[in-house]
Amino acid sequence: MSRRALTLLLAGFLVLAFGVAGAFRPVPYVVLSPGPTENTLGEVEKKPVISISGRQTYPTSGALSLVTVAYQGGPAAQIDLLTALRGWIDPDVAVVPQETIFAPDRDPKEVEEENTVEMTNSQDSATAAALNELKIPYSMVVTVVSTEKGKPADGKLLKGDELTTIDGKDAKDVDVVSSTVKAHKPGEEVVFGVLRGGQKIEVPLRPIAGPKGQPQVGVLMQTKYKFPFDVDINVGDVGGPSAGLMFSLGILDKLTPGQLTGGKKIAGTGTIEPTGEVGPIGGIQQKMIGAKKAGATVFLTPADNCGEAVQAAPEGLRLVRADTLHAAVQALDALRTGAGAVPACPS
């Protein structure tokens, strides 16, 4: 073999070797794909998704399914270039920069914990929204989930503490507590009124400046509701707040006579406020694909997601705009009875 041919062969081998090696190098992207779809009127692992005790319930039919997005990648388990390339050519998945899912200054474990808390909050908000729709009264308290090591609340606020006041004002929800802390300058004292073990105490803290200069004390809180009967929601290993609307509809269907779906397979998504407002979510394309694969014919869509949903909706999946829980119930009534207008996502 000539020296020229040998040089070309060696160069080709090196290019191939570097190409193969590069294909398996980690890249800072996350692959989003359709995740599990669960019927809120059905079961997960032989347990009802929604269980209600202490209140009369009624038979249901059809499906009111929540949809999810599965992700592959992240700071703790980055995908390789080959996986990202496969995702870019697959129309059912999306490849997004890692920082859109995991903020660069956030610990992945902290993000996972917050997703769990968001799911719990979503379930409670969904129950509250359903009870508000039915005009059933309830009460609520703000509790401490955890504190960050080294931050002002560390060792002073404890898991399970009920926050009753903040600077003498009623701590009626997490937003009130957060906004009151943020109204202070770093170093200024803020006083938490706490119910601990049946005893009322005051815990003064001095916020420090966070990464963006905002004052913080390093406490993760959640609003806990005291409902007049038990509502238990079981969805397995699913996090985040985007199933709120479908939880509310499932609870409503079980608590009211008749069948909300009319036997149809309905899927949908959207965060829910206790007042019933439906909020936008991420991953709408993957969620619609998951809904279609699960046999849904109707997809309840938050108003703010309508634009992108119309562009990517699978054939045969009817998009119904859901601004509020009440509007979603009215839309399902119209679909079932054929009477009244069904709000659609604008094209």
242 catalytic? Reply is: yes
Which position among 122, 248, 254, 287 bears the catalytic label? 287
Which position among 65, 242, 254, 292 bears the catalytic label? 242
Q: What pLDDT, on a 0 to 100 scale, did the predictor assign at position 16?
A: 43
Q: Where are the domains of the chain?
A: 29-134+227-337, 139-226
Q: What pLDDT, on a 0 to 100 scale, did the predictor assign at position 105?
A: 63
DSSP line for 201-270: EEEEE--EE-TTS-EE--EEEEEEEE-SSEEEE--SS--SSTTHHHHHHHHHHHHSSS-TTTT-EEEE--
- d(Cα 275, Cα 223) in Å, to the nearest integer? 14
CATH architecture of 29-134+227-337: 2-Layer Sandwich (3.30)
* Cβ atoms 32, 71 nearer than 8 A: yes
178 catalytic? Reply is: no
Of 221, 214, 98, 96, which is closest to residue 158 (Cα–Cα)?
A: 221
Indicate the length of the chain as a whole number.
347
Q: pTM value?
A: 0.74
State the DSSP code for 66: E
Enumerate residues 6+ apart whose C-beta is below 8 A from 85.
23
Q: What pLDDT, on a 0 to 100 scale, did the predictor assign at position 106?
A: 59
State the DSSP code for 303: G
Q: What pLDDT, on a 0 to 100 scale, did the predictor assign at position 7?
A: 47
Q: What pLDDT, on a 0 to 100 scale, did the predictor assign at position 118?
A: 74
- d(Cα 95, Cα 108) in Å, to the nearest integer? 19
Mean pLDDT in order along the chain per 10 residues (347 residues) = 50 45 66 88 91 96 92 75 77 77 65 70 91 94 93 96 95 92 94 95 95 90 89 81 93 95 94 95 93 95 95 93 96 92 85
Q: CATH topology of 29-134+227-337 equal to that of 139-226? A: no
Q: What pLDDT, on a 0 to 100 scale, did the predictor assign at position 2?
A: 53
- Which CATH code is given to the segment(s) 139-226? 2.30.42.10
